[in-house]
Amino acid sequence: MRKTYEAIVIGASAGGTKALLKIVPELPPKSCPPVMVVRHVREGSDFHLPDVLDQKSGVLVKEAYDKEPIHPGTVFMAPPGYHLLVEEDGTLALSTESKVCNARPSVDVLFESAAKVFEDKLVGIILTGANSDGSRGLKEIKAFGGLTIVQDPATAESNTMPMEAIKTVEVDHVLELDAIGPFLKGLCEQNAA
C-alpha cells in the first residue's frame, strides 16, 4: 500500500533562494499538499521571495500569517524575524521567541512542530545552508516515521546544513538539487492517485 503525505516542510539558508526557485515551480497545483518553508531571512529585510516564486509556480506561494489555516496547493513561507509553527488544529502560528541556531525563523522550530502534528505523513527537506539549523528537526521527523530528504551537499551553494543533517539523521534520500523538484512532483501525484 502506498503511503500518502499530508504536508511538506522545507528548510534553507545561504543559497536557498536559488534552490527554492528550482523546486517550487515543479510542484503540481492540483495534487500538492500544503508546503511550509523556512528560509533564513534577517528581520527587517525586504522579502520578495514569495512573490517571485508565486509568479513562477502553479501553486500559490505566500508569506504565512498567524492563525492562518493550512490547505493544499499552497506554499507558506515564514516571514523575516518570525518562527513559523504548525498548530494541532491545522493552523499556522508565528512566534518571536528566542533564535535557534542564531536564526529566527528557524528550520528546527518548524520541523519539530510539524512532526508532532503530521507524524508519519510529513516530508522534511533540508537544502543548502551555512549552519546546523534543521538537523535536529529532521531527526524529529524521522523519529515520527516521516520521509526525510537532504540536498546532496555537492550540489549545495553552502553545504553545512546538508552535511549536518546527514551526520545527524539516517536520511531516506540524498538528492541532487535538480532531482528534488521532480521527486516531490512524483510524490504529490502519487498522493492524488
Catalytic residue of the set 13, 113, 132, 158: 13
Does some domain include residue 1?
no
Does some domain include residue 2?
no
Tally the C-alpha atoms within 13 A of residue 168's C-alpha that lie toward its C-beta.
23
pTM of the model: 0.97
Q: Range of 113's domain?
A: 7-192
C-beta separation of 125 from 8 below 8 A: yes
Does some domain include residue 143?
yes
Active site residue 57: no
- SS3 of the chain: the string is CCCCCCEEEEEECCCHHHHHHHHHHHCCCCCCCCEEEEECCCCCCCCCHHHHHHHHCCCEEEECCCCCECCCCEEEECCCCCEEEECCCCEEEEECCCCECCECCCHHHHHHHHHHHHHHHEEEEECCECCCCCHHHHHHHHHCCCEEEEECHHHCCCEHHHHHHHHHCCCCEEECHHHHHHHHHHHHHHHHC
pLDDT tens for each residue of 11-68: 999 999 999 999 999 999 989 999 999 999 877 666 789 999 999 999 999 999 999 9
Catalytic residue of the set 40, 57, 83, 108: 40
Report the CATH number at residue 160. Answer: 3.40.50.180
pLDDT tens for each residue of 140-183: 999 999 999 999 999 999 999 999 999 999 999 999 999 999 99
Number of structural domains the chain divides into: 1
Active site residue 13: yes
pLDDT tens for each residue of 76-115: 999 999 999 999 999 999 999 999 988 999 999 999 999 9
Residue carrying C-alpha cell 534552490: 19
Active site residue 113: no
Does some domain include residue 183?
yes
Catalytic residue of the set 113, 133, 135, 158: 133
